[in-house]
Amino acid sequence: MKMIYITANISMLPQIREVLDGLNINSYQVIERAWSKSPQGDKRFDDPVWPGYNAILFVQTDESHCQQIALKMKLLNENAHNENEFITWAEWSLDKFTTS
């Protein structure tokens, strides 16, 4: 099992969820309002100086889905209108993931 952490401008949330749902990912959580300072683009602290905010998604899935998600996130980044729409993600192994 893997955990994937995805963060992006809130404007990208619908596209990211569409990817996850299209891959039949059945376990993820969304935090819709997160302040961020990303490697690319403007800071997003939801204030008058740095308006906007990010969304965070935590995805629990298997290795094969990790590769598919990474490819889809790269494609979204390639088609981004500007660097503020870039998506970042990280993955790591889960020792346990229990649903009951």
- As a whole number of angstroms, the distance between CA 90 and CA 93 comes to 11
Q: In this predicted structure, what is the pLDDT of residue 91?
A: 96
- As a whole number of angstroms, the distance between CA 44 and CA 84 comes to 9
- On whether residue 99 sits in a domain, the answer given is no
- On whether residue 33 sits in a domain, the answer given is yes
Q: Tens digits of per-residue pLDDT, 25-77?
A: 999 999 999 999 988 889 999 999 999 999 999 999 999 899 999 999 999 99
pTM of the model: 0.92
- On whether residue 98 sits in a domain, the answer given is no
Domain of residue 20 covers 2-93
Q: In this predicted structure, what is the pLDDT of residue 38?
A: 86
Q: Tens digits of per-residue pLDDT, 75-99?
A: 999 999 999 999 999 999 999 888 8
Here the CATH number for the domain that contains residue 58 is 3.30.70.120
